[in-house]
Amino acid sequence: MMIEIRTDRLLLRSLDNRDATALAHAANDPELSRWIPHIPYPYTLDDAQSFIRNSHHASGPVLGIFLQNTMIGVLSLDGHFGIWLIESHRKQGFASEAAHAFIAAHFARRGDASVHSGYLDGNQPSQAMLENLGFQPCGSHDVTRPNGQIALQRDMILTPEHWRAGYGFPIYTQNLFLRPLAEDDIAELQFIAANAQVAPYLMSVSIPWPKSAVRTWIKQGQPTGKPGFRLGVCLQGGRLIGAIGLGPGAYPSLFYFISEQFWGRGFATESARALLGFAFARYGLDAVQADSFTDNPASMRVLGNLGFEKTGQGTGTSLARLEPAPVNLYRLTRTKFESAS
């Protein structure tokens, strides 16, 4: 049975004989062989043809990942979930985009079936991606690489309960979903936020925004089951278009930003309303705070649309501004939010 899953940027589909040459070229990478024991190096056309034949008899979907008709990787659920991308397309959010759509399709089709996966010890990008999808550690075992070396594999499992309720994410809206950020998002976050039309309205974003600083920003904002986290704002297809989050404390502060090319479409209001509904229900908050630089009328309109009331003025700083600037302070109570909703 042919399977197709489309995301905002990618096509995930079943493989056939026409893909053999592209697969042989994409998988002929010593780095893949280092981290994925069943991929030999060199990887030949015969290997690719054999893999495609076997994929038609696998216990679960085996799909190619295509960007503008070019194969950039493979993902599968043949007993275990696995994914790989060619080197030139790593760290651009493609792995997270494809994996999220693939796992979502699995649970939509087989809602009670847990997913098993794993990563070789030391493969930090794979570990981070699996953890951000909600996978939990469940043991370890030795595996043999194609060169005969023994490596330790860390086993992971994603249960339906963790997928649906793990920290409550993803949060879905009509047009968007909100999910934890990952290292794969660094380049896109730099593009979106380190922008003269965006960064001056944010406290912790500079122009330029160094990769190391973005990585720390993501790490510090990982969900921990309480207020004090940052999420990516994504189109339903998977494309990252901004970020949103809550600060820590009993009266956490809301923040958000959306890519300039998606302004004027209501996405800031839509994502913030969804996050506020989640936060009030999940954490039992009495109120949420927010602030906006006084030269940011668009943000003030969003806060007004959400029901925030102005409580005063203060001074704010931004790494993208030369000096402090005035801000308006806002507050939204749970009662007002629920009555408005």
Q: What is the pLDDT of residues 274-292, one digit of tens each?
A: 999 888 877 788 999 999 9
What local confidence, expressed as pLDDT, does residue 167 receive?
A: 53
Mean pLDDT, rounded, for 188-199: 96
pLDDT band of 104, cuts 50, 70, 90? confident
Mean pLDDT, rounded, for 28-41: 88
Tell me which of 146-150, 265-269, 310-314, 323-327 is least confident.
146-150
Q: Does this chain's domain 4-165 share its CATH topology with 169-340? A: yes
Specify the CATH number for 4-165; select among 3.40.50.720, 3.40.47.10, 3.40.630.30, 3.40.50.170.
3.40.630.30
Q: 169-340 adopts what CATH topology?
A: Aminopeptidase (3.40.630)
pLDDT band of 129, cuts 50, 70, 90? confident
Specify whether the CB–CB gap between 339 and 328 falls below 8 A: no
What local confidence, expressed as pLDDT, does residue 268 receive?
A: 97
Q: What percent of the chain shows pLDDT beyond 90?
A: 65
Which alpha helices (H) appear in the chain, and where do they start and end? 20-27, 30-35, 45-55, 94-109, 124-133, 160-165, 186-193, 211-220, 267-283, 297-306, 334-340
Q: How far is CA 164 from the centre of its chain?
A: 15
The residue ranges of every structural domain in the chain are 4-165, 169-340
- Cβ count within 10 A of residue 50: 12
Q: Is the per-residue pLDDT at 334 higher than 70?
A: yes
Q: Which residue from 227, 241, 111 is spatially nearest to 176, judged by alpha carbons? A: 241
Q: Is the per-residue pLDDT at 164 higher than 70?
A: no
Mean pLDDT, rounded, for 79-100: 89
> Which amino acid is present at 271?
S
The model's pTM is: 0.57
